[in-house]
Amino acid sequence: MNTEKRNGLTSGNLGYPRIGENREWKKQLEAYWGGKLEQEELLASMKEIRLNHLRKQREAGLDWIPVADFTLYDTMLDTAAMFGLVPDRFDYTGGPVPLETYFAMARGNRSAAACEMTKWFTTNYHYIVPEFGERTPSLVDNRILALYKEAKEELGIEGRPVLIGPYTFLKLSKGYDRTRFQEVMQSLLPAYAQLLQELEQEGVQWLQMDEPALVMSVTDEEMQAVRDSYHYLHSAAPRLKLLLQTYFDSAERYSELVALPVQAIGLDLVSGRTRHLDALEQYGFPEDKLLAAGVVDGRNIWRTDLDDRLQLLESIARKVPYERMIIQPSCSLMHVPISLAAETALPPELRNALAFADEKLEEIALLAKAICLGAEQEEVKTRLQASREALRALKASPLRAARAGQPAEAILAAKTRTPFAERRKEQQKAFNLPLLPTTTIGSFPQTAEVRRGRRLWRKGEWTKEQYDRFIREQIREWIAIQEEIGLDVLVHGEFERTDMVEFFGEKLAGFAFTVNGWVQSYGSRCVKPPIIWGNVDFEAPMTVEETVYAQSLTSKPVKGMLTGPVTVLNWSFVRDDIPRKEVAEQLALALRREVESLEQAGIRMIQVDEPALREGLPLKEEDREEYLEWAVGAFRLATSGVKDSTQIHTHMCYCEFSDLIDAIRQLDADVISIETSRSHGELLEAFETDTYDKGIGLGVYDIHSPRVPSVDEMTGLIEKALRVLPASLFWINPDCGLKTRAKEETVQSLKHMVQAARQAREAL
């Protein structure tokens, strides 16, 4: 680590995107899973990707380079595997967890269901939820040490290993009695202590302990557990320096947090800026610790306002001198794309105002250089001026001009739907569905043939007419398949859509798209979020043609399929010059016109998916009411203009239902489907105390796992659900869209689902 700075100030990173500039990581994993790559080949290719990422960070001039932030699937899964926390349903007898078992925990296998997967705080990244069960945690494989040694021996890098801290790891795990939190924490600490001791013995200088759960509400009991844990770990490895890193918001219990026996505290000064500045003013900062100041946004893709950050750092330096300060991103850079190098087709005023991971590393290094050498040093001065001009040009774009027109609130007030009970009667007459109707969430397999057709069209080798004909062939085939399977409500399959957000962004004003702006969503699944950089407007119907064609092929209802305004917002990189609420309203008004277009074309079931509603829920309880008010308002603005006989559906992903039940009611959708199969039991417990009086479908099988569930397995889930939900309102569906699944697997799973539904009807 280079510490020869003029005033002691250093710069660092918290984590780097693992997927590779051209998604090499994803491709190697999928080749291995597909039997095209041996384990030794996989591990060798992953090592090269990992070392290349370390080289890039060293070349950026960083003083602190993270190691062990890289993973073969997920870092929470890595931590569980390191401590031997393998659920009993997997074939594991101790020792280092075999790669086959590791991936089975993430993806399932023929004999065992995968571990639960859920969102990482307020991001679109999904982590694997560790399960404690009856196993006692023990260190079975110190991968943290191995990756530290690799960086040092292969590249000469004295890296800073990254480890999920014990509080966050336990807080996000399952399989234990929450009333025994402190006791379970005590069982976990010896494994952590051994890991730290082995690092200390190897001569590791610093360890980054990620504790993002400390920005959420922390009870007195939990804070005591945190204090006890860090005192225990400090005693176990007193020479190992710890950076306790928080992110995604301001740290709770700041004064107690900074008193812990660690040598540095990392604070998010982007998301938690105001509260952290207030805490620094009120409580100061300990003189025996470093402050890791997260001043470059690790979650969004806009250039940093460097003048603003230099002023911020100068104000902080009045409390914490520069020699005790580390400049870094607000969180890991895994949430942004890697490099702008391929994005030559973007409008110049937009491209120049962007910063992906590599550009953010340059910004961090530039901030450090500006402080150490002075803003008037020639190179620093030139680069700061270029940054100012780029931001100024973006601000001047006519696409960002202030809008005039009728406020969204006025439109919503002018049209609210009649009560659900009255609408339901109209819909029952219109559709005449059986008890426990079956449907899917929307998408069907995007086969190699589908991807090839889209590629030929985009490259100009197919005409628009050829491509449209191809899409109609796919729709026709899958309408016939759904009829044969016996589903009650059909979908057109979304074969024309690369991504549920990108598709709509391409047809709305105000969006831009990258060539290579990929980020990881879960496992090897990567997404390419659109950029909302201007005002959003409806231009022409987006889904009517395909949906109407599908409806013409069947007498059964076909759902129109839209992505909701809050999900488009949360799954895009969003302009930061106006409030997110305002962008959500622009999206809602545009989607409202699409809903109206579908209804006018004769489509009477319209699904407006909001899988990211929960994802956007602020981590601070005091901030949630405001968010839910405008998020629910945006959904209702998009959907409230239809007739009573038109049925509005929505879909949500892994969701703490009890946290959101009031907001979900206020959405006023006629039917909601919730992605629940990996955590079905926990969700059903919520219905024992909170009733839900509208149509609801709980996913009866997990589409993220490459296995065909049995009829009995799904029947069991249906029976459990019907103990707490009325059969008259219950729908049966998969957990989520089927885009990533194989055709044969999809057909067989849906046949089992329909058979399970029929058995449940007979039992009723």
Ranking 22-26, 97-101, 552-556, 661-665 by mean pLDDT, the lowest is 661-665
Q: Among the residues of 319-463, which ranges form H helices? A: 348-351, 357-373, 378-395, 408-414, 420-431, 448-458
Tell whether the model's pLDDT for residue 1 goes beyond 50.
Answer: no
Q: Is 305 annotated as a binding residue?
A: no
Residue 720's pLDDT is what?
A: 87
Q: Could you tell me which residues are beta bridge partners of residue 519?
A: 527
Cα separation, 443 vs 739, in Å, equals: 5
Cα separation, 360 vs 352, in Å, equals: 13
Surface-to-core class of residue 432, CB atoms within 10 Å of its CB (0-12 exposed, 13-18 middle, 19+ buried): exposed
For every residue of 498-542, DSSP letters joined together read SSTTHHHHTTEEEEE--SS--EEEETTEEE---EEEEEEEE-S-S
Q: Is 442 annotated as a binding residue?
A: yes
Surface-to-core class of residue 410, CB atoms within 10 Å of its CB (0-12 exposed, 13-18 middle, 19+ buried): exposed
Tell whether the model's pLDDT for residue 672 goes beyond 70.
Answer: yes
Q: Is 653 annotated as a binding residue?
A: yes
Cα separation, 483 vs 512, in Å, equals: 38
Cα separation, 504 vs 562, in Å, equals: 8
Catalytic status, residue 704: yes
pLDDT band at 693 (very low <50, low <70, confident <90, very high): confident
Residue 656's pLDDT is what?
A: 62
The residue type found at 20 is G
pLDDT 10s digits, 572-592:
999 999 999 999 999 999 999
pLDDT 10s digits, 675-691:
775 555 566 666 766 77
Collapsing DSSP to helix, strand or coil, 118 comes out as strand
Cα separation, 152 vs 68, in Å, equals: 12
Region 504-510: mean pLDDT is 95
Ranking 126-135, 148-157, 261-270 by mean pLDDT, the lowest is 126-135
Residue 740's pLDDT is what?
A: 82
pLDDT 10s digits, 394-450:
999 999 988 766 666 666 665 678 999 999 999 999 999 999 999 999 899 998 999
Contacts of 279 (CB under 8 A, 6+ apart): 250, 251, 254, 255
Q: Is 675 annotated as a binding residue?
A: yes
Residue 737's pLDDT is what?
A: 86
Q: Is 454 annotated as a binding residue?
A: no
Tell whether the model's pLDDT for residue 631 goes beyond 70.
Answer: yes
Collapsing DSSP to helix, strand or coil, 603 comes out as coil
Cα separation, 638 vs 713, in Å, equals: 37
pLDDT 10s digits, 240-257:
999 999 999 999 999 999
Q: Among residues 126, 335, 649, 704, which one is catalytic?
A: 704
Of the chain, the percentage scoring pLDDT greater than 90 comes to 83
Ramachandran area for residue 652 (φ above 0: left; ψ -120 to 50: alpha; else beta): beta
Residue 59's pLDDT is what?
A: 96
Cβ count within 10 A of residue 451: 12
Residue 669 token pair: 């959708």
Residue 333's pLDDT is what?
A: 98
Mean pLDDT, the chain, rounded, equals 93
pLDDT 10s digits, 301-344:
999 999 999 999 999 999 999 999 999 999 999 999 999 999 99
Cα separation, 458 vs 229, in Å, equals: 55
Surface-to-core class of residue 4, CB atoms within 10 Å of its CB (0-12 exposed, 13-18 middle, 19+ buried): exposed
Report whether 328 contacts 12 (CB < 8 A).
yes
Residue 657's pLDDT is what?
A: 63
Contacts of 40 (CB under 8 A, 6+ apart): none
Report whether 21 contacts 339 (CB < 8 A).
yes
Tell whether the model's pLDDT for residue 99 goes beyond 50.
Answer: yes
Contacts of 158 (CB under 8 A, 6+ apart): 1, 152, 205
Residue 474's pLDDT is what?
A: 96
Q: In the 8-state DSSP scheme, what is residue 129?
A: P
Q: Report the alpha-carbon angle 671-672-676, nearest 5.
A: 145
pLDDT 10s digits, 357-377:
999 999 999 999 999 998 889
Residue 764's pLDDT is what?
A: 84
The predicted model scores a pTM of 0.90
Q: Say what angle helices 621-639 and 657-667 make with each other, to 10 degrees.
A: 30
Give the rounded distance of the alpha carbon of 742 from its chain centre. Answer: 24
- The 3-state DSSP composition of the chain as helix, strand, coil percent (nearest 5) reads 45, 15, 40
Q: Which is it for strands 671-674 and 730-731: parallel, antiparallel or unpaired?
A: unpaired
Q: Is 443 annotated as a binding residue?
A: yes
pLDDT band at 725 (very low <50, low <70, confident <90, very high): confident
Tell whether the model's pLDDT for residue 540 goes beyond 50.
Answer: yes
Residue 3's pLDDT is what?
A: 38
Report whether 397 contacts 534 (CB < 8 A).
yes
pLDDT 10s digits, 19-29:
999 999 999 99
Question: Which is more confident, 736 or 348?
Answer: 348
pLDDT 10s digits, 636-648:
999 999 999 999 9
Q: Report the alpha-carbon angle 67-71-77, nearest 5.
A: 120
Cβ count within 10 A of residue 431: 16
Q: Which domains does the chain carry?
A: 10-395 (3.20.20.210), 430-763 (3.20.20.210)
Strands (E), 169-263: 206-210, 241-245
Tell whether the model's pLDDT for residue 498 goes beyond 90.
Answer: no
Q: Is 571 annotated as a binding residue?
A: yes
Q: Is 609 annotated as a binding residue?
A: yes
pLDDT band at 521 (very low <50, low <70, confident <90, very high): very high
